[in-house]
Structure 1
Amino acid sequence: MQSRRPAHPVRFLSALLGLLALIGAGLWAAMAPARAGDVFTVHGVVVDVTAENARDARVKALDQGRALAFRTLLERLTPQAMHASLPRPTLETLVESELAVEVDREKASSVRYIAEVTYAFRPTEVREFLRLNALSYSENQARPVLVVPVLVLRGTGPQGEPMEQALLWEPENDWAAVWRDPRFSSSLLPVETPFGDTEDLLALDAEKALNAQWADFAPLAARYRADEVLLAVATVSREAQGRTEQVDLTLARLSEDGLETAQGTAQGAAAVPEPGQTRIPTIARPLALEAIDIAMAPWIERWKEKTLVSLGEQQRLSATAVFRSGLADWRAIETALAEIATIIDHRVLALSATGAEIELTFAGSVDQLALLLAQRTVSLSALNNLWVLEAGAVASGVAPSELDPASRPPVEQIYLTPATAPPAAYRPGAPDPYAGEPGPAAEVDDWNRARSAIDPGASQMAPVGQ
């Protein structure tokens, strides 16, 4: 009797996972929380250009918008301290980096073009621009936080007495609509907005929300599987004639661990009806967005500091993935590894029903990798001189941040980038149209020598015009 070889465990388990994924696809999609957006997409770029004719005005407007969007993207990804010295890309870089354009609110005359444009950029091209300019950056988003938008309207009563009205789930709460702007899904600190349906209304009202107690938010957080809530209280005050208004914003991040607050204020033109509408919005959208940017900036900068990487600082480690709940743990770990942008590659070396051996190549430090995994409820810890991956918040080993570097399990450093970067005016293949004068050749020679020391086959750069 001829014996039959048992199925290869990796192939068998992979096939089983695929079958289970197909069976449960509908249920999984229905249960999955809202995902964050693409950080390489820039929304709401306003262009307004006048030229000799409508066609030229449109072309110039979209070109200007592309450059502005790319600059906005660089500022989103890099620390604020770098913004004053960010290099300007060449026209060729801008065109090659563009993936898609979407035009909205378009208006045109015979000589003028106005629009609100969304630009999507190619991640690979943007990363290469950052690498060539030796710019550290962060592209990994934090876990989305559930925002609860409370609008407080201040005014005067019939007898001139001061009055306040707090809105949360009411249709007149235009503050809630502001948070649904797609730019917040593309932020490094993305937000998720509640449905605002009957179940939400029964779970929380404006009065309880203003008390800022986690116990009052817990039922709402449980519904959206959120471990943190962002209470956003915007107080709107309008001057007597109704021409200007002020938005005072207080943000409070609430969780079981406590509360953290931030403030932002914006003042300017009062809200006016949108085209085709008669109702005056309860908050001026431009002022609301400005106040949010001011209040969120310190938190975003802090997240960048924690997750800042350079593509030239890549490392490799081998980890043992432990499945305590079977295939569900494997799905959670695989999903987390796929979502983290700074994981350049992950290879499954061995797989069984109880665990896997995985090789990870990533940019940044091990501490940063552990932080990004923890955001996705996967732990990376050290145990018996091994790196261990586990689904869930509880780790069997010691967190990397608590270990002395000398006592950590092995981590291989596989690539280094020169400390200096090529000047912005030098790009392989094409001169920079923004730079009219060639730079010092010695500066380029230094860069070429440093580059050749790492990669002898690297193409050499030359100053513009030579």
Structure 2
Amino acid sequence: MLASLLPVRWGVVADFARGGQLAHLYIASRRGLVSWLGVRHIRAAAAGVAAGLALSVVGFPASAEDEAYTVAAYPVDAVASDAVTAKQKALAEGRQAAFRSLLKRLVPVTAYDRLDRVKHVKADELLEGVSVRDERTSATQYIASLDFSFRPEPIRDLLRSEGVPFVDEQAPAVTLIPVFLPAAAGQGAVPAELSAARGSRMWREVWAGLDLEHALTPVKLGDTKPELTAEVIQKLVKGDGSVLSVFSKAYGSSLVMLAVAQPDLAAKRLNVTLTGRDAVGAFVLKRSYRLNLDDPLYTGELAAVIALGILEGRWKALKFDGGTASAGFGGALMPVQMIVEFRNLRQWQQMQQRISMLPGLEGMQVDGLSARGADVTVMYPGGPEALAQALTAQGFDVRQYGSTLQVSPSL
């Protein structure tokens, strides 16, 4: 009905909801609407809200440590018999969904099962204020971009009382430079949106559209500098630590990263590399995403969403376990059973290599292999929970069932 007015790529939201793979996501658009979605629980039960509710900036967190309790630019959309009812419905559903999303921002992925203990809590009991960024209405539909600010202390008390671990301390901000590399020569005609100029603009805009300020890992976007030559970029992508000092000096910070995106037109993939140093440490992470050549922006948004989620996952793993997120978790070696899910043999080989290279992991043994999964046994310091944290920090989707881990790609 209001498709022409929609300020966000709602198809991205819908596809994530159907896929149900990621626990939480920022969904961003170059049109300026951003959301943090609890994808596994996308719809909230409607709660009452006064018809004449006036939305304004009210009581937002004043201290830096409370920044993570704001869920900014959250999209709401509802249809009803009239505009007033549609707005009431959108606000009620939106605040509950934003609250669920906040909890998933704060709670380590390995403790998501404990969120059932607080699913009965109504968001309006913990809401500090709401601000409107943008809103559109018709006779029967209400669409808006809202900032929800929640009360930190009552939420902390709630989680502590229910035994739900959480991390609300933001990491030191990292400077991130989005770099778009054109497709390699010899792959045929390049779509206009993936040209060097337009691709670079798209890749930067999807990052700028994220709520970088309130993330657990705040990000400041940087510009490409002369020191960041093609040679330096390639060395960073390959994990050559010898150029980290050059990279850091150019940007005046030890916490600086590249997010490099390059389309592979022949394979219809967007290859993305995160490389540099965040608050956890130096790392290189490579991911590949299906690329719709008719809509590359969709893939760009998805890649940026997951990249930011990986940075947050690394930070939560570090804080939750006291400082060993990426290099093992200490303690005696313990056996861990894993069910590794994959789509094809190539993906299995890639996952097997990444898992086997985890610091501290020993004795990786494949006990069974099928077309879509593998039964794997490993030894890891600290056992299954420690390994789950390490795998999550590397961008895997991990579920824990007792002493067994189910490991799959994020998408």
Task: With the length of structure 2 as denominator, give the TM-score of the two structures.
Answer: 0.52
1:221 aligns with 2:256: no
Cα separation, 1, equivalents of 2:153 and 2:131: 20
Give 1:247's aligned amino acid.
Answer: L
Pick from 28, 34, 40: which aligns with 2:69?
Answer: 40
Match of 1:306 in 2: 318
1:271-350 matches, cutoff 5 A? 283-284=296-297, 286-308=298-320
Query: What is the SS of the residue equivalent to 1:308?
Result: helix
Aligned pair 1:209/2:224, yes or no?
A: no
Q: Report how far residue 267 of structure 1 moved.
A: 3.5
Larger radius of gyration: 1
Partner of 2:88: 59
State the 1:293 CA deviation.
3.8
Post-superposition shift, 1:300?
3.1
Counterpart-to-counterpart distance in 2, 1:52 and 1:61: 13
Partner amino acid, structure 1, of 2:219:
V
How far residue 127 of structure 1 moved from its aligned partner, in angstroms, is: 1.0
Structure 2 CA distance, aligned partners of 1:207 and 1:176?
21
Letter in 1 for 2:273: T
Partners of 1:209 and 1:217 within 8 A in 2: no
User: In structure 1, what is the Cα distance between the partners aligned to 2:180 and 2:206?
Assistant: 11
Q: Which residue of 2 aligns with 1:253?
A: 276
SS across alignment from 2:144: strand
CA change 1:228–1:94 in 2 (3 A) is same
Counterpart residue identity of residue 306, structure 2:
I
Change (3 A) 1:238 1:61: farther
Aligned partners of 2:80 and 2:140 also within 8 Å: yes
1:184 maps to 2:212: yes
Q: Kindly provide the amino acid, as one letter, of the partner of residue 191 in structure 1.
A: V
Aligned in 2, Cα 1:229/1:124: closer, same or farther, shift over 3 Å? same
Structure 2 residue runs of 5 or longer lacking an equivalent are 1-63, 326-411
RMSD: 3.9
| Residue 77 (1) aligns with residue 77 (2) | no
Aligned-residue offset at 1:45: 2.1
1:233 aligns with: 260
Identity across aligned pairs (percent)? 27
How far apart are the structure 1 equivalents of 2:241 and 2:107? 33
**Cα 1:207–1:224, aligned 2, differ >3 Å: closer, same or farther?**
closer
What residue in structure 1 maps to residue 286 of structure 2? 263
The CA deviation at 1:136 is 0.9
Shift in CA distance, 102/207, structure 1 to aligned 2, threshold 3 Å = farther
Partners of 2:81 and 2:189 lie apart in 1 by 56
CA distance in 2, matches of 1:178, 1:73: 21
Which residues of 2 match residues 13-52 of structure 1 at below 5 A?
Answer: 38-52=67-81
Measure the CA separation in 2 of the matches of 1:145 and 1:166: 28
The answer for the alignment partner of 1:99 in structure 2 is 128
How many residues are matched? 256
Distance 1:36 1:216 in 2: 33
Q: 1:36 and 1:180, CA in 2 relative to 1: closer, same or farther beyond 3 A?
A: farther
User: Residue type matched to 2:103 in 1?
Assistant: L
Classify 1:36/1:293 alpha carbon distance in 2 versus 1 (closer, same or farther; 3 Å). Answer: farther
Cα distance in 2 between the residues matched to 1:129 and 1:258: 32
1:444-463 Cα deviation digits (max 9, x unpaired)? xxxxxxxxxxxxxxxxxxxx
Distance change in 2, residues 1:291/1:161 (3 Å): closer
1:166–1:206 CA contact under 8 A, matched in 2: no
| Distance of 1:163 and 1:62 partners within structure 2 | 40
Distance 1:300 1:95, change over 3 A: same
Stretches of structure 1 that go unaligned for 5 or more consecutive residues are: 1-34, 273-282, 310-366, 372-466
SS of residue paired to 1:203: coil
Aligned partners of 1:209 and 1:216 also within 8 Å? no
Counterpart selection for 1:112 from 135, 141, 159: 141
- The verdict on how the C-alpha distance between 1:37 and 1:203 changes in structure 2, with shifts beyond 3 A counting, is farther
* Aligned residue type for 1:52: S
- Matched AA of 1:118: D
CA distance in 2, matches of 1:51, 1:162: 44
Report the Cα offset of residue 222 of structure 1: 3.2
Q: Structure 2 counterpart of 1:249, which letter?
A: V
Distance (whole Å) between structure 2 residues aligned to residue 204 and residue 299 of structure 1: 22
TM-score normalised by length of structure 1: 0.47
- Residues 206 and 60 (structure 1), Cα distance of their counterparts in 2 relative to 1, 3 Å cut: farther
For 1:37 and 1:127, locate their aligned partners in 2 and report how far apart those are by CA, in whole Å: 11
